[in-house]
Structure 1
Amino acid sequence: MNRNWQKVFELISKPERLIIGLMSGTSLDGLDIALCAINGSGAETKVRLLEFKTVGYSDEFKTEVKSIFSRRDADLQMVCLMNDKIGLIHGDMILEALDEWGLKPEDIDIIASHGQTIFHAPASLHGLPGYPNATLQIGDGDHIAVKTGIITISDFRQKHIAAGGEGAPLAVYGDYLYFSKKGEDRVMLNIGGIANFTYLPADNDAAKVFSTDVGPGNTMMDQFVQANYAGMHYDKDAMLARAGNVNEALLNGLKAAPFLNAGFPKTTGPELFNLHYLKEAQQGSGTLGNQGSIVLSNEDILATLSAFSADVIIEAVKRCFGDQAAPVIYLSGGGMHNPLLTERLKRGLPEARFLSTDDLGINPDAKEAVLFALLANETLVGGDIDFGGREGVPSITMGKISLPF
């Protein structure tokens, strides 16, 4: 028998597997690396987060990724080259992390790699008749496997699309496996580049569970800061936005996208919510600063973008639970560190209780990387979980296996 498959069969029978989960989001901050010990599967899954770190990307590397990120005119040769380069760089980062943690590649059973999304194109967004939902993550799994010598599972989103989903969000699967609790309605709210949440019902009925994108999290704020403040990547602690004022006309203009009124589940990305979208909202609301229109400071625009991100989350939660929404909301993602955004969330949902996944034993910054470790574990040893056959939530396992030798 091929020795790779021999190892696969052996680790399937192990009571506990050491799995490294990787996540690189649309903010392009760096690579999240989570070392997890996982035993069981399905509703019996137990996870221990053993180590976690984020390895920052160099400015040069960020520029290379941005040259092909969310661009219809991306250079095809650069897409091809970066697919391999990202895999190699992620492989090096994993080896450096293992060395720092005093571990060797042979100590690790599996790597679960999300890859780097460079374009997300659900049919609801591209609107082209005859074309399916599509998404593209690069950072080749074979390169990671060969570089590290560790079996790698990657490209999770393609199976989701093939089975009738939109390729995102995938948090529904990991959130249900790890965070469900009988007797408590939970919202697992992740505010990354895009804000998304998973609804976990108090009765633990998997057929009621769903995960959905709701709109922009940090992406528009980050893009605006990077375009208007040299050397800054984001508005740390909302210091810039706090110096501004929310403009209601622009805020209403930002809320005009049909996506925001579409039913759940749904998915989106920076392909929609970007600086072009902001400019159109400014034009429509008379706040672009042209002759005869309102002139807003950069700080006013940032304050309004922060309010926009908070409001789309508030409105989405209320659609699920009503105006007196009182779920327990567990925060994760970079947006939870934005005090202006979270203050508005708490004012808009006064009956809700806000915690973080730290209160459930998972570092909120590590949550998405842990998610992919959970998905990889299900690929290997998971059984059938019935999510009710609803559109957008196929009952499947995901990921493609890359062997190192």
Structure 2
Amino acid sequence: MNGFFDLPKKKVRTVIGILSGTSVDAIDVVLTKIKGSGTDSKIDVLDFRSYPVDKDLKTKILEVSEKSSGFVDDVCRLNVTLGILYGRCVNKLLKSNKLTSAEIDLIGSHGQTIHHLPVIEKNFGSKSRSTLQIGDPSVIANITGITTVGDFRVADVAAGGSGAPLVPYLDYVLFRNAERDRLLINIGGISNITYLPKNVDQNSISAFDTGPGNMIIDYLMLKLFGKKFDRDGKISAQGIVNEVLFRFICEMDKFHKSKPPKSTGREFYGVNFSEKILSRGKGILKEDLIATVTDFTAYAIHYNSKRFKIDDVLVSGGGSKNSSIMKSLRKYFNEMNVLKLDLKGVNPENKEAVLFALLANELVSGNKTNLKSVTGANRNVYLGKICPA
């Protein structure tokens, strides 16, 4: 079992984190060395690789994520297919670093979110939220020969939470500050924020999804320009914000105005939402359409941040590489210090993969890592399921 029973005794562990986000552009794999646990965790990022997702596979994943085109047999196949793919990506990382599986203690894999239902619903006599991530950790463990932790969100859902967001735990461990009130922004397919007031403790963190990140931008880029995303924000920089369309999006988007705790996903900001924007935007220059939805991403983040007293704004995620999003954030946050996160070896590109390395390490250390004030859970729980190799 690759030293499975010795894991809790180790004070320093070599842990790999895997992330496949809602944009489904790439599989991010990070190699870390973690000393200690909890707020004493010291994370050293040793290597980070991003492996592109095959175009046809991405299309299939997006298809099964939509209610109109998702079929249970496809979900079943992808659950194993993605597990194999994640395992192969880990093996590539090991080969690049001339490491063997015996030198790795643990893998933490988020999996691929297929559906997320953060609102409590009645189902056959019970009330619950639900979430589903695929890419089974047992398959990863088998392919790599390394104990793998996965399925992190369901334990929080079982305790009455929404299972999201999880990033705030990493934010709390690494970026709390005794003298500065900090806002951490993560822009993936969806945008979320973590507010860490000075001298914050685990029970006083505010964190939630704010609205779209790259999701709508990516969809419109594919439909209008045949490109997967707006590289460095160059297309949106050629356009101007259409105020009429901007107001339409503000009125249509009820989520960004809703009160936390809250989380969202492709179920809200997917094809239907984006197609309504395209329909309303007929006759508007393509570049202006991209500029408008890009600006809205930043607007929704700022709208949800106005309640906080902020000294520093630290931005991570794929959206931090979009110069137009960063420009809009600086506009909305005015003269505030808006910076790309790059601290303690954790940067905008690797941050979420590092999170799942940390969460895996925390589970084998015996630490509960959901933040009930953030997810709405009724108690703190252990996140993840351990699959020995």
After TM superposition, the score normalised by the length of structure 1 is 0.90
The answer to whether structure 1 residue 335 and structure 2 residue 319 are counterparts is yes
TM superposition shift of 1:9: 2.8
Contact 1:32 1:55 in 2 (8 A): yes
**Residue of structure 2 equivalent to 1:201:** 197
**In structure 2, distance between residues paired with 1:297 and 1:359:** 39
Contact 2:33 2:46 in 1 (8 A): yes
**In structure 2, distance between residues paired with 1:166 and 1:235:** 31
One-letter code of the match for 1:38? I
**In structure 1, distance between residues paired with 2:341 and 2:374:** 27
The answer to whether structure 1 residue 250 and structure 2 residue 245 are counterparts is yes
**In structure 1, distance between residues paired with 2:370 and 2:71:** 41
One-letter code of the match for 1:300? D
Distance 1:390 1:89, change over 3 A: closer
The answer to whether structure 1 residue 8 and structure 2 residue 4 are counterparts is yes
- 1:104-123 pair list within 5 angstroms: 104-123=100-119
TM superposition shift of 1:153: 0.2
**Residue of structure 2 equivalent to 1:85:** 81
Aligned match for 1:397, one of 356, 377, 382: 382
The answer to whether structure 1 residue 301 and structure 2 residue 297 are counterparts is no
Q: Percent identity?
A: 36
SS in 1 for 2:109: strand
Contact 1:23 1:33 in 2 (8 A): yes
- 1:10-159 pair list within 5 angstroms: 10-123=6-119, 131-159=127-155
**In structure 2, distance between residues paired with 1:342 and 1:13:** 43
One-letter code of the match for 1:61? L
One-letter code of the match for 1:400? K
One-letter code of the match for 1:141? P
Aligned match for 2:340, one of 349, 356, 359: 356
Distance 1:282 1:88, change over 3 A: closer
Contact 2:156 2:162 in 1 (8 A): yes
The answer to whether structure 1 residue 376 and structure 2 residue 360 are counterparts is yes
**In structure 2, distance between residues paired with 1:389 and 1:216:** 22
TM superposition shift of 1:25: 0.3
Distance 1:169 1:246, change over 3 A: same
Q: Number of paired residues?
A: 386
Higher mean C-alpha displacement, 383-392 vs 134-143: 383-392
**In structure 1, distance between residues paired with 2:368 and 2:118:** 26
One-letter code of the match for 2:79? N
TM superposition shift of 1:99: 0.4
* Gap runs ≥5 in structure 2: none
Distance 1:357 1:382, change over 3 A: farther
One-letter code of the match for 1:403? P
Distance 1:68 1:384, change over 3 A: closer
TM superposition shift of 1:389: 5.8
The C-alpha deviation readout for 1:267-293, integer Å capped at 9, x for no partner, is 01121113422443566xxx443xxxx
Supply the RMSD in Å over aligned alpha carbons: 2.1
Aligned match for 1:274, one of 257, 262, 270: 270
Contact 1:39 1:46 in 2 (8 A): yes
SS in 1 for 2:329: helix
TM superposition shift of 1:252: 1.2
The C-alpha deviation readout for 1:225-258, integer Å capped at 9, x for no partner, is 112223x101112222122221111111111222
TM superposition shift of 1:71: 3.2
**Residue of structure 2 equivalent to 1:292:** none
Distance 1:298 1:96, change over 3 A: same
The C-alpha deviation readout for 1:342-372, integer Å capped at 9, x for no partner, is 1111111124212222134312200000001
**Residue of structure 1 equivalent to 2:258:** 262
**In structure 2, distance between residues paired with 1:107 and 1:87:** 21
TM superposition shift of 1:390: 6.8
Aligned match for 1:170, one of 161, 166, 173: 166
TM superposition shift of 1:329: 1.3
SS in 2 for 1:318: coil
Higher mean C-alpha displacement, 304-313 vs 247-256: 247-256
Contact 1:26 1:193 in 2 (8 A): yes
The C-alpha deviation readout for 1:310-367, integer Å capped at 9, x for no partner, is 100111111233xxxx331111111111111111111111242122221343122000
Contact 2:176 2:199 in 1 (8 A): no
TM superposition shift of 1:391: 5.9
**In structure 2, distance between residues paired with 1:33 and 1:102:** 16
SS in 2 for 1:206: coil
One-letter code of the match for 2:100? K
* Gap runs ≥5 in structure 1: 290-294
SS in 2 for 1:31: strand
One-letter code of the match for 1:207? N
Contact 1:375 1:397 in 2 (8 A): no
SS in 2 for 1:156: coil
One-letter code of the match for 1:205? D
**Residue of structure 2 equivalent to 1:310:** 298
TM superposition shift of 1:384: 5.6
One-letter code of the match for 2:107? I
Distance 1:147 1:180, change over 3 A: same
